[in-house]
Amino acid sequence: MKDDTVKLSLKPAGPATERPISIAIVAMGGQGGGVLTGWIVDLAETQGWVAQSTSVPGVAQRTGATIYYVEMMRPGESGQKPVLAQMPTPGDVDVVIASEFMEAGRSILRGIVTPDRTTLIASCHRSLAVSEKMAPGDSIADSSAVIDAIGVVAKQEIVFDMDALAVRNGSVISSAMFGSLAASGTLPFERAAYHAVIRKGSKGVEASIRAFDAAYERTTNGPEQPQANPPEAAEPLAPALPAALRDTRANALLMRLRAELPEQAQPMAYLGVQKVVEFQDTAYGNEYLDLLRDLSQRDRAAHGEAHGFAFTTTAAKYLANAMAYDDVIRVARIKTQSARRQRVAQEVDLKEGQLLYTTEFMHPRMEEAASVLPVGLATWLKSRKSLYAWLDSRINKGRRVQTYRLGGFLMLHLVGALKGMRRRSLRHKMEVAHRDAWLADAAQALESNYALGVAMLSFRRLIKGYSDTHVRGHSKFEKVMRTTKSIADRDDAAEWAQRLLTSAIKDASSKDLDGTILTIESFASP
Residues 6+ apart with CB under 8 A from 420: none
Euclidean distance between CA atoms 521 and 518, whole angstroms: 5
Residues 6+ apart with CB under 8 A from 401: 359, 360, 362, 408, 411, 412
Instruction: State the CATH number of the domain containing residue 60.
Output: 3.40.920.10
* Res 8: pLDDT: 59
pLDDT in tens, 198-222: 998 777 889 999 999 999 999 998 7
Residue 421 lies in a domain: no
Residue 344 lies in a domain: no
Query: What are the angstrom distances between the C-alpha of 490 and each of 306, 414, 446, 450?
Result: 22, 52, 13, 13
The secondary structure of 157-183 as a DSSP string is: EEEE-HHHHHHHTTS-HHHHHHHHHHH
Residue 286 lies in a domain: no
Query: What are the angstrom distances between the C-alpha of 76 and each of 19, 22, 92?
Result: 12, 18, 21
pLDDT in tens, 102-143: 888 888 888 888 888 899 999 888 766 545 555 555 555 555
Q: Which of 221, 243, 260 is the last residue of a domain?
A: 221
**Radius of gyration of the chain measured on its C-alpha atoms:** 30
Q: Which of 221, 239, 260 is the last residue of a domain?
A: 221
Q: How confident is the model at residue 62 (pLDDT cuts 50, 70, 90)?
A: very low
Residue 40 lies in a domain: yes
Nearest CA-CA partner of 211 in 426, 458, 90, 35: 35
Residues 6+ apart with CB under 8 A from 415: 328, 329, 332, 372
Residue pair 288/319 in contact by the 8 Å Cβ criterion: yes
Give the angle subtended at the CA of 336 by the CAs of 330 and 339, to the nearest 5°: 100
Euclidean distance between CA atoms 31 and 478, whole angstroms: 42
Residue 370 lies in a domain: no
Query: What are the angstrom distances between the C-alpha of 492 and each of 114, 265, 285, 495, 501?
Result: 46, 26, 36, 5, 15
Residue pair 194/183 in contact by the 8 Å Cβ criterion: no
Residues 6+ apart with CB under 8 A from 30: none
Residue 72 lies in a domain: yes
Question: H helices of 349-384, where?
Answer: 366-371, 375-383
Q: Which of 221, 256, 272 is the last residue of a domain?
A: 221
191-201 b/e with 16+ CB inside 10 Å = b?
eeebeebbeee
Q: What is the pTM of this model?
A: 0.62
Q: How confident is the model at residue 387 (pLDDT cuts 50, 70, 90)?
A: very high
Q: Classify the C-alpha dihedral 478-483-488-494 as positive or negative.
A: negative
Residue 198 lies in a domain: yes
Residue 234 lies in a domain: no
pLDDT in tens, 413-447: 898 888 889 999 999 999 999 999 999 999 999 99
pLDDT in tens, 238-268: 567 888 888 889 899 999 999 999 999 999 9
* Res 195: pLDDT: 95
Q: Give the residue numbers spanning the domain of 486.
A: 427-526
User: How many separate domains does the chain show?
Assistant: 2
- Residue 315 CA neighbour count, 13 Å, CB half: 34
- Mean pLDDT of all residues in 227-237: 44
Residue pair 112/151 in contact by the 8 Å Cβ criterion: no
- Mean pLDDT of all residues in 267-294: 94
Which element (helix H / strand E) includes 120? strand 119-123
